[in-house]
Amino acid sequence: MPKAVIPSVNLDAIPQELRDLPRWACWKETPSTGDKKAGKPPIQANVKFTGRHVYAKANDPKSWASFDMALRYWRDQLRGKGLASGLSIALNGDGIVGMDMDRCRNVKTKAIDGWALEIIKRFRTYTGVSPSGTGIRIFLRGKLPAGGRHKGQIEVYGAGKFLSVTGRKLTGHGAGDGIEERSAELLTWYREVFGAGPTSTKEKGDTGNLVIHDLPDLDQGRLDRLFRMKPQARDLLQGHHDKPSQPKPVGFRVTGKGLEFGEAPQRPKKETQKGNAEEWLKENMEPGKWYPAADLLANAEDDGFSETALRRARSDLGIVKPQHVRRTPTGWEWRLPGQCLGKTPGKTVPT
């Protein structure tokens, strides 16, 4: 049986600076089923209702609407129809930060838990009650550091998230009327709650390299594979979350202190001249002897040669003809021209 609809929007108490933003959507509660708790998925308000709602996306401005459009859609298509519903706003990284504190308010007595009251008094900015009446929403201006966004009963976001707005403004307890600038307070609070992140526990190691502590279950092999597949991971660990991965090589190793970064040993440039790649093949292959292609490519890469350069050199050396390329049960094999062996097993087509 549907829950009673909770009055979820008090228009007069929604800050004008939020109402002026074209980043609104509606929401309608979805019932809990089994282990899945009830949700409030955002619903597009800038489309015509044709019998079913269209979900909005926090990272897609085309799915957002003006406040007036969202209000009209909510009144016409959602209010009073089944489960609870209301309005929500998308955070897009423009400096407005939203904080969500769950299960910290008693609906009957309106009493707020002490830990939540401390946060409200600390920020002294616009604060409202959540649609359920059991949570608190805080809106302020500031910049969130890279790192966690959810811990226990607290969530905090600056982008990529919808937060419901009820207009049920909290009075007293130090709450403010407008969305205040609280950058310094936010940074201090964030470090207290979430920790300062990887860059907060950095120091210079004995070698002068950057050392990052307190990372769980470090394993050099896994880190090597991670950084090869996802170069951005190195940037994230170093705190450069807004910068693309730089081509400059950065070394890393697991030590007794933690994860240590420094300058990587310089390899030859990947775009090594084709002629040098040919010399590498001649030095590492005996004429007439078969070599696994995968091993050659891997070893060449370790010596600074790109796969493209090596394949070009292979072609110029004639290692593309059927008598010099073969496929075996374990993979492709190559051999240098110069000495022909007997019958070659497997299908002989160039790779």
Task: Please tell me whether residues 190 and 207 are part of one structural domain.
Answer: no
The parts of the chain modelled with pLDDT lower than 70 are 1-8, 33-37, 196-275, 302, 339-351
Task: Please tell me whether residues 86 and 216 are part of one structural domain.
Answer: no
Task: Please tell me whether residues 250 and 316 are part of one structural domain.
Answer: no
Residue 161, domain member (yes or no): yes
Single residue among 263, 282, 306 that ends a domain in this structure: 263
**Which pLDDT does position 282 carry in this prediction?**
83
- pLDDT tens-digit profile of 303-338? 777 888 888 888 888 888 888 888 887 778 888 887
Structural domain containing residue 214: 199-263
Task: Please tell me whether residues 175 and 63 are part of one structural domain.
Answer: yes
pTM of the entire structure?
A: 0.56
Helix (H), strand (E) at residue 161: strand 159-165
Please give the tally of structural domains in the chain. 3
Q: For residue 143, what is the DSSP state?
A: -
Task: Please tell me whether residues 69 and 133 are part of one structural domain.
Answer: yes
Task: Please tell me whether residues 256 and 140 are part of one structural domain.
Answer: no
Task: Please tell me whether residues 141 and 163 are part of one structural domain.
Answer: yes
Residue 20, domain member (yes or no): yes
Among 92, 79, 72, CA closest to 18: 92
Query: Cα Rg for the chain, rounded, in angstroms?
Result: 30
Note whether 163 and 137 are within 8 A (CB): yes
Residue 346, domain member (yes or no): no
Helix (H), strand (E) at residue 251: strand 250-254
Note whether 10 and 169 are within 8 A (CB): yes
Task: Please tell me whether residues 94 and 132 are part of one structural domain.
Answer: yes
Task: Please tell me whether residues 17 and 158 are part of one structural domain.
Answer: yes
* Mean residue pLDDT across the chain: 78
Residue 4, domain member (yes or no): no
Task: Please tell me whether residues 116 and 247 are part of one structural domain.
Answer: no
- pLDDT tens-digit profile of 22-62? 999 999 988 776 666 678 899 999 999 988 999 999 989 99
Task: Please tell me whether residues 234 and 288 are part of one structural domain.
Answer: no
